[in-house]
Amino acid sequence: MSLKGATALVRLAQNPRCEVLGAMVMQEGPETRFFERVVGTPYDREYGERQSSKRRGTQFERNAYAGDARLLREALAPMVGLQPDDIRVRNLLDDYPGTKDDARVARLRITRRLLADSLAGRAAPHLIIQPQLLVPTKPGPRPYFFIAPDVLVWMQQFGLYVPADLKSFVVRENEVSRADLARVRLQLGAQSLALMHEYDHVSGGKTVVPATGLLIFSHPNGLRPHAPRTEDLRGAREAVRLGIEAFLRHRRRIDGLRAGAEPYTVTTDLVPHFEEACLAQCVMSEWCRSSVAGRTRDLGDSAGQLLGNIELARVTGLLLGTTMAASDAEQAIAAELQRIANEYGVRAA
Amino acid sequence: MMEIHELRQEEKELERRLAEVRSQLSAKHQAASGARFIERRPLRELILDTLGEARTPLNSLLIASVFKPLYERDVPATRFGTLSADEQRSFDSSRPRPVYLCHCLTHDRGQAMKRFWARSDWPLEDRIIGPMTGRVLFLKGAEWVIQLASAAGEGADADRLRFVAADQARDAGCQVQRGNFPFRDWITHIQAQITRYSESDRAVRVQAGSELATRLGERALLFGAPGELTSIPGTSKRWTAKSS
Amino acid sequence: MNDRARTSQDADQVMDEAIDRALHGDTPLVIVNSPPGAGKTYLVECAAIAAAVGAGMRVICLTPGVVQAYDIAERLLAYNLPRLELVHAKHRETPARLSGRLTVSNGWGGALNNGPGVIVANAHVIAAYRNQLPSGSFDLLIVDEAYQLAANNFLPVADLAPRALMVGDPGQLPPVTSVDTSNFEAHAHPVHWALPTYLLKRFPRTPVYSLPSTRRLLPDTARVVQKAFYPDLSFASVVDPASRRLRFDVSGIHARLDPALDALASGASIVAVVLPGASPAHEETDPELAAVMAGLVERILVRQGTWVGTRRLGQGDIGCIDPNVLTGGAVSDRLRRAGLRDVRVDTVERWQGLEVPIAIVRHPLSRVGDPEPFDLQAGRWCVSLSRHQIGCIIVGRGSVDDVLREYVHPCDTAAAGGRDDVWSGFQAHCSIWAELQLRGRIFRMGNDS
Amino acid sequence: MSNMQDTLTRVLARHAGRALPIRSTSSLSADPSSAIGIATIKIVTEEQIQAIAFGSLGRAPNLIARLDPIGRDVTDLLPFARFLIEAIEHALEHEGELRIWVPHGETMAALDVLGHRYWRNQNASPEIVRMGEICRILAHEAIFAGQQVIADSAQLLRDHAITGQTPIEDGHPDAMLAWFDRAVTDPVTEARQRSRFPASGILVNTPDRRDDDRIEKLRKEAKGGLTAGRLSAVQGEIRRVLSAGVQREWDLMVAARAAFWGLGLPTTGLDTLIDLSRKRLSAALMQGHFPARRADRVAIELDELDSAQRVTEQSMLEADGAARLRAKRAGAVIAGHVLARNQPKRGRHPCSIDVETDQTVVRTRRDDKVVVVGTNVSGVVRDIAVAPSGGIRVRIEIMNGVRSTATLDAGTRIEIMEQAGAYVRTREFSQAAARGVWMFFGDTPPALAPGTWRRGSPLAIARRSRRP
């Protein structure tokens, strides 16, 4: 799985300060390939989507889109403000199937036309399935990101389309893991940003796209859509925007360093920004972690912030009394460490 | 008005009977000559025949799902792409064919809906997709598959066909219980839905048909009007993610 | 008539209409949204009096907490009422300010609510005696500070009267809950929500009135607060700045603290004093910051700060607002050691609903590490910045600039389908800080502290 | 625990090369003899359980490997259903005594989804339906603070100990266990190595061990027409991989449980929580599971969750000195000495005590109900004032325990904390529902007959009524 489209923007939004991530986004091909070329050994951890979840995702979409998207029409009727039978649907994969760029461009053309039709008051579909959008980052390599929401839903409340994403993971009441929520909101944020761009394209900047998106999870019983969740995307959209700005900065620096070579070749000259969260989502995390090895940040973000990413040896020196405290802060830390050591029966020396 | 209504009912009944007869024929045909004979027939011919039997444009996904039980043939999605290209090449060649496999066209711009297949010898308005035609075509396709399944005999292929029909019925919102195939109920349910849309949908298609016929050439009327250029990345210079 | 007078007249008109509709209209529920210091309690008083005296109604005024009930009861003592009764829990003692001045009942008593008049109580205590109170025991139910009352706490008492008037400030802290409510966020009945918010979700056509003016905040503060916290509730100040002037009889000599105070005296009603660097990570409090907060209190008193035309400011006229109990404790400690024991230092939750001439507020982002949702919550910051009648001094660390610049929104701060209040809070923080910077209201202290 | 304390304890744990306990008592009561364990393997995102290990602890578990977990046939789940029903019947006979160990929270989530699928399934057998309902009841019980039924071994370790790695790495139970294993000399490296394989109720799917993808492929193959021989070989392989996967989860749970009890934390002071948990469970098992849908049900559930939270906090503070120390710093606990006892008749009401503390931060306010830690003495705060010493003096009117002279005598050192109000307003909310209060149960507001419209300005009426 390579870092493309919304996935790339989500990752950039989550860690905008990481230049290594910037290089991974610039580099074509899968992340593991990037890892292998930089580190020189095969990536030995789990990576990418499992067959089982791919199958489920595909089946969920199939169920949702079948019968002219009957289940989706039923789930989204309250947002559209019409009876399910009166909702118009257009599945752009019927117009132009395929995942190659020519198909994407064709779907982008149709999407733009439908947005224009809707703004002009012409009969446009209420649900556009598999639309195509993009976010430009031109000029430069990777001049744009293709962004493809699952659905664009015309919401009566705004008189405009908003992006909706189908997520096949089961939601019982409303429990979605925080990590999943952050990721899917950022995906919607990227889609909303791309929709802003496309509306801007067809209406000359006159349309204000609401920072709203819809999440459609799966019901525990069978692969049926749950009641859609209306998501507040103000924060996510801004986070993605900052991620794009960061990418442009990284790209400039990487281009300056690589002199035409492939981005991975300059990785060692880049500044990684290792965070705890990287361990759960980035193939390069262990490699980047070496930049904080033996330092307090290796114990987590909080440790790095509170102790100022000093060497762990120094902190334990304070505990053992082998290091002289250089400040009131260090003195207090030494005292507290010794107190805790006594409390837990850890021999200081 | 009553008279028209009765005639429509009669027409529907005759169509149902015709579909039954055709499917029995094709079943017998297979039994007699074996699947190998069908295997030898080119895909385009099989699709043309299938469309002829269905008498309605069909979505390539549906065609693929019925070809397995009908002709023991797997049709990969990509095959439809090459089929379209072949058909256009043959149209451009010097040897015209009596009938072409072609695409349905969007009602407003006459562009191809590549997944919806039709026959060139059908009236133009039957090949046009209006705002609600997608639903009508799905329902008609589902009705056709259920008719086929109801007329099919026994055996693995017939079972497979019944399952495809059950999927279609479920997608159309019919009650589907495992191992239960109330074909008539399903068809009644689906026909009621078709009736809900058919008149207004037909009006849009007839209107669009007469307009497109004057705007598009013969080739475009079969394979769709060419799409205009799309600017990539397509942003105006002033656009920044901050705007709007 | 100038704008102020006109806005003030508009406010009276809105109050009249809202009360009239609640008392005599054909809808059983009326909601009044009010910005800080817009005269919520005055509206509640007037509604209660108009109902009991003007319409001979049996009225019950419910509040989220008992202290708010005491305050309303005290305000109502200023009127001639056929009957005024206070109900509070069995274990409570009547505050001295009310003792002997009205009928007080510990728990519900049979002799109460006899004929036209007003009963004041907190929602919980009435709910506990609900079995003794049939539906329709009252003619009008008024809820004060309705946005601080969770809908579930109102459920048992919702049908005590056929008519309800709910008054509250939508920009302040939502009701506190100790449990994880994310599973109920997308529920058809999110009864953990603030009462009016829940009811407006269920009945969006409920008549809602908005008070257009604040009588507490000066125009200078009102503009900043309205823009940052009340995008959907437009209001203006009706305060005449001439009536809220601060004067220091002793001129400033303290180079680090006095310039901010002088700015207050010159009419800037909201300023910030910023210490360099970040709070010390190794301590649970920030002694330097506490010293500055206490120091500001001292300087106001030493320089004989005077509310021109009203009084010389005393300890009771200055309040310290600290979002955190521990850091607030450090400020109290400093003040105690300076012999200033009557200066109130409290958390934001406890300052809610109160006002004070001068507020000294600790900036919640003066912390080490990434801000927590608690630090960014819009309601908390809004309450902090809307308690003062004359001036507000925000005391913070230089690290606030970095926190606002470096913040990466985690996007996981709201439950699925919920509104992202943390993001709203971050935006409000940015807006306030940018405004203060723009107006040159941030006084940065040197490193010589 | 403050971030700084957490951080420094991590530094210390890294230095010591082992996990350090952060509580002085256990939040979980001792295991009853009937304690059982359940571990599951689900299909990723599908949440469908494809393998279960269950049984009594200390014995080899029973394993179920499901050949077609997505299929409608659930007879393969019957042994688990019967086991669960038996365990529940035992619990009901013993006043709700039940302890189920699971490796981590994901197991409960998987069981809850299993519950959702079958508790109202009319096509399933009564045993499977009952199993579904029990799963939902257990999952619901697991959300209550301080509950004593479900022992989530990974969570228990996180709640009671800190390791020398990042908090996010503590999320991996196997990695965390490396810090408890005395045989591990380099827990940092060992934990990172262990974290290669998931420990969250799913199959391994690393480049060198693609169990999950393999199972997916084998199931596909089994669906196609295979010879009987090949089919049984394929099914055997599916069973082998799934059994190994779920056994690994079971072993993880057993190891985590051993590590937890290995901390040797006392299990005293949990009687109230045990009692609450048993009552909740017994009631649910007898009355059935009813998810909160109506406003009154949601309100009751919120009250139940809230009271569980309060009682748990109080029990933890009462039992755990380390936790009390932290609470004292935040002013939630007042530690001081009795300055004076005001009690005209010894051992009788009225009685009040003055307590002085050197703390500068106290959270309690006038009229708050408080208890004296470790005694039956409770009272109400009547006054809070600054003591001449610079500390704080609190006057407490004693409501219960006026005879406890040993506690109330001047000079006694005591600790005071807020009394947990744990009342659930079931009656109030249910009665409101019965009355059908329109604001919460109606679809539209009732229309009222308008009164006399604008009978004069209400503000003017109020002004006229003002006392001179």
Domain ranges of chain C: 3-214, 219-444
Is residue B50 domain-resident?
yes
According to the model, what pLDDT value does residue B74 have? 86
- Please report which confidence band the pLDDT of residue D3 belongs to, taking 50, 70 and 90 as the band edges: confident
Mean pLDDT of chain B: 85
C177 in contact with D, Cβ within 8 Å: yes
Identify the band that residue B23 occupies on the pLDDT scale cut at 50, 70 and 90.
low
Write the single-letter amino acid at D427: R
DSSP 3-state of A331: helix
D142: containing domain: 1-291
Residue D204 has pLDDT above 50, yes or no: yes
Residue D328 and residue D252 share a domain: no
Do D276 and D143 share a domain, yes or no?
Answer: yes
How many domains in chain A? 3
* Interface with D, mutate which of C9, C102, C152 (most D CBs under 10 A): C152
Q: How confident is the model at residue D388, as a pLDDT?
A: 82
Answer whether C3-214 and C219-444 agree in fold: yes
Question: pLDDT at residue D223 above 90?
Answer: no
Q: Judge: B243–A200 Cβ closer than 8 Å, yes or no.
A: yes
Domain presence at residue B237? no
Q: Is the pLDDT of residue D404 over 80?
A: yes
Per-residue confidence band for C275, with pLDDT thresholds at 50, 70 and 90: very high
CB contact under 8 A, C155 and D440: yes
pLDDT at B38 over 60: no
**Structure confidence at residue B26 as a pLDDT band (50, 70, 90):** low
Q: How far is the C-alpha of B43 from the C-alpha of A103, rounded, in Å?
A: 24
pLDDT digits (tens, 9 = 90+) for A130-143: 999 999 887 777 78
Are residues A302 and A182 located together in one domain of the fold? no
The model's confidence at residue B78, banded by pLDDT at 50, 70 and 90, is: confident
Residue A1 has pLDDT above 70, yes or no: no
CB A254 within 8 A of CB A2: no
For residue range C132-146, list pLDDT tens digits in order.
999 999 999 999 999
Residue C449 pLDDT > 50, yes or no? no
Q: What is the mean pLDDT of residues D248-252?
A: 98
Nearest to D149 by CA among D12, D71, D34: D34
Instruction: Quote the pLDDT of residue B27.
Output: 57
| Cross-chain residue pair D44–A55, CB shorter than 8 Å | no
Residue A106 resides in a domain: yes
Burial grade of A60 (CB within 10 A; 0-12, 13-18, 19 or more): buried
Q: Give the domain range for residue B177.
A: 42-220
Task: Reply yes or no on whether the pLDDT at C36 is more than 90.
Answer: yes
pLDDT in tens, D301-312: 999 999 999 999
Inside any domain, residue D441: no
* Residues A330 and A298 grouped into a single domain: yes
Q: Mean pLDDT of all residues in chain C?
A: 94
Residue of B41, A227, D457, A127 lying closest to C17 (CA atoms):
D457
Higher pLDDT, C74 or B238: C74
Chains B and A touch (3+ CB pairs under 8 A): yes
Residue B221 clears pLDDT 90, i.e. is over it: yes
| Cα–Cα distance for residue pair D7/A300, rounded to 1 Å | 8
Choose one of D418, D446, D463: the last residue of a domain.
D418
DSSP letters, chain B, are -HHHHHHHHHHHHHHHHHHHHHHHHHHHHHHHHHHHHHHHS-HHHHHHHHHHHHTS-EEHHHHHHHHHHHHS----HHHHHHHHHHHHHHHHSSS--SS-EEEEEETTT--EEEEEEEETTS-GGGGEE-TTHHHHHHHHHHHHHHHHHHH--SSHHHHHHHHHHHHHHHHTT----TT---HHHHHHHHHHHHHHHHHHHHHHHHHHHHHHHHHS-HHHHHH-PPPPP--SS---TT--TT--
**Amino acid identity, residue C288?**
E
CB C426 within 8 A of CB C413: no
* Averaged pLDDT, D313-337: 89
One domain, residues D134 and D199: yes
pLDDT above 80 (res D83): yes
Note the pLDDT tens digit of each residue in D102-136. 999 999 999 999 999 999 998 899 999 999 999 99
By mean pLDDT, which of A125-129, C88-92, C444-448 is the weakest? C444-448
Residues D347-371 pLDDT 10s: 999 999 999 999 888 888 899 999 9
What mean pLDDT is predicted for residues B149-158?
82
Mark yes or no for CB contact C284/D447 under 8 Å: no
Residues A330-340: pLDDT tens digits?
998 999 899 88
Q: What is the mean pLDDT of chain A?
A: 92
pLDDT at B198: 93
Q: Pick from A95, A134, A191 the residue to mutate for testing the B interface (most B CBs within 10 Å).
A: A95
Q: Inter-chain contact A336–D5, Cβ cutoff 8 Å?
A: yes
DSSP character at residue C242? G
Binning pLDDT at 50, 70 and 90, where does residue B243 land? Answer: very low
% of chain D residues with pLDDT over 70: 99
pLDDT more than 70, % of chain B: 80
Determine the pLDDT at residue D269: 87
Q: Are residues D172 and D243 in the same domain?
A: yes
Q: Check residue A311 and report its DSSP letter.
A: B
- pLDDT average, residue stretch D318-330: 86
Alpha-carbon gap: A91 to the closest alpha carbon of chain B (Å) = 9
Structure tokens at C222: 């009102």
Residues of C in contact with D399 (CB under 8 A): 91
DSSP state, C161? S
| Count of domains observed in chain D | 2
Do D286 and D329 sit in the same domain of this protein? Answer: no
Give the model's pLDDT for residue B36. 45
Rounded mean pLDDT of B179-206? Answer: 95
What's the rounded mean pLDDT across residues C83-111? 95
Q: Are residues A37 and A68 both part of a single domain?
A: no
Q: What is the mean pLDDT of residues C235-241?
A: 94
What is the pTM (predicted TM-score) of this model? 0.91
Indicate the pLDDT class of residue B216, thresholds 50, 70 and 90: very high
Q: Return the closest-CA partner of residue D355 out of D370, D376, D375.
A: D370
Residue of A112, A122, A209 with shortest CB distance to B244: A209
| Chain D closest-CA separation from residue A323 CA (Å) | 15
Instruction: Assess whether D279 and D338 both reside in one domain.
Output: no
Same domain, D395 and D357: yes
Predicted local confidence at residue D169, as pLDDT: 97
Residue A271 sits in the same domain as residue A180: no
Q: Which of the listed CATH numbers 1.10.10.10, 3.40.50.300, 3.10.520.10, 3.90.1150.200 matches domain C3-214?
A: 3.40.50.300
Average pLDDT over residues C404-416: 92
Q: Is the pLDDT of residue D190 over 90?
A: yes
Instruction: Tell me if ipTM is over 0.85.
Output: yes
Does the CB of C181 have a partner CB in chain D at under 8 Å?
yes
Instruction: Tokens for A137, please give them.
Output: 């980052």
In Å, how far is D116's CA from the nearest CA of chain C?
A: 16
Could you tell me if residue B210 is inside a domain?
Answer: yes
Rounded Cα distance between D439 and C201, Å, is 11
Mapped onto helix, strand or coil, the DSSP state of residue D236 is helix
Helices B133-151 and B43-54, packing angle to 10 deg: 100
Q: Does D164 touch chain A (CB under 8 A)?
A: yes
Which residue shows structure tokens 């009441």? A173
pLDDT score recorded for residue B236: 54
Pair (A95, A230) in one structural domain: yes
> CA-nearest residue of chain C to A328?
C282
Identify whether residues D27 and D155 lie together within a single domain: yes
Check D8 against A333: CB less than 8 A apart. yes
Instruction: Please report the number of interchain residue pairs, chain A to chain C, with beta-carbon separation below 8 angstroms.
Output: 87
Chain A neighbors of B131, CB-CB under 8 A: 88, 123, 125
The per-residue pLDDT for B244 is 39
Mean pLDDT of A240-265: 94
Say whether domain C219-444 belongs to CATH 3.40.50.300.
yes
Q: Specify which of B3-7, B84-88, C120-124, D361-365 reaches the highest per-range mean pLDDT.
A: C120-124
Asked which of B163-177, C401-415, C432-446, D321-335 is least confident by mean pLDDT, the reply is: D321-335
pLDDT band with cut points at 50, 70 and 90 for residue A204:
confident
| B109 in contact with A, Cβ within 8 Å | yes
Tell me the residue range of the domain where A154 lies. 51-237
Shared-domain flag, residues D212 and D352: no
Is-contact C377 C173, C-beta < 8 A? yes
Q: Look at residue B159 and tell me if it is in a domain.
A: yes
